[in-house]
Amino acid sequence: MIHVLGEEISFPPVTEADEDGLLAIGGDLSPQRLIYAYQHGIFPWYADYSPIVWWCPDPRFVLFPQDIRISKSMNRVIASGKFQYRYNTSFKEVIECCSRMPRRGQDGTWILPEMIAAYGKLHQLGLAISAEAWLNTELVGGLYGIRMGNVFFGESMFAKESNASKFAFISLVKQLTAEGLVLIDCQTYTSHLDSLGAKMIPRKLFCEILEREIGM
């Protein structure tokens, strides 16, 4: 059974998601609904000409900051000083670059104009942030996501230069770890993040961490 959301800011229990993690459709992308969704481990992901689709997969792909793996070659890139790291200085440009970046096996993008507008509102509220890799005066890589309490929910990343997105991600992890971060939500499996140390954990454990580190 697929739950259809109405105007009320609520979701069914995440345990009612199907085997793929599909929990509900409909609703809106208001800041209030998005905040409530992330607090409960739910995120929107859908294609153009589709209703809004909400997900909470089990197991969940996450990275514990202390588990991050940095290869010798990546350490050399970091030490070289090739890229400059900036935090949250060009959020709109980062999310727009993510929306335009071609993805293997995907014909289009799920970062639609309404998504860009919605996360822009969360950025204005101080919840959506960007991590950026700059090469001289050019933005060449980065990522964006939601920061709540001691949890960062990663949404998407892009790179115009080899290793630029990895550099931005590693730099962000180091910064947020120093600020008390305990968990990075990667949502669904990617080989890119697997290589950096991300792993699957049960949804129940994931939600317990959210309740402890964010509060609901």
Q: Quote the pLDDT of residue 109.
A: 61
Q: Is 8 helix (H, G, I), strand (E, B) or coil?
A: coil
pLDDT at 36 > cutoff 50: yes
Encode pLDDT of 9-22 as tens digits. 999 999 999 999 99
Q: Quote the pLDDT of residue 110.
A: 78
- The percent of residues above 90 in pLDDT, for the chain, comes to 90
The architecture that CATH gives domain 3-59 is: 2-Layer Sandwich (3.30)
- Residue ranges of domains in the chain: 3-59, 61-213
Q: Quote the pLDDT of residue 73.
A: 96
Q: Quote the pLDDT of residue 50.
A: 83
pLDDT at 108 > cutoff 50: no
Residue 134, beta-bridge partner list: 84, 139
Number of H helices, E strands in the chain: 7, 11
Average pLDDT over residues 133-157: 97
Q: Quote the pLDDT of residue 214.
A: 94
Encode pLDDT of 182-204 as tens digits. 999 999 899 989 999 999 999 99
The architecture that CATH gives domain 61-213 is: 3-Layer(aba) Sandwich (3.40)
Q: Count CB neighbours of 143 within 10 A.
A: 25
* C-alpha angle 5-10-16 in degrees, rounded to nearest 5: 75
Sign of CA dihedral 69, 99, 118, 37: negative
Q: Count CB neighbours of 176 within 10 A.
A: 20
**48-52, 99-103, 105-109, 144-148: range with highest mean pLDDT:** 144-148
Distance CA 29, CA 27 (A): 7
pLDDT at 148 > cutoff 50: yes
> Residue 215: pLDDT band by 50, 70, 90 thresholds?
low
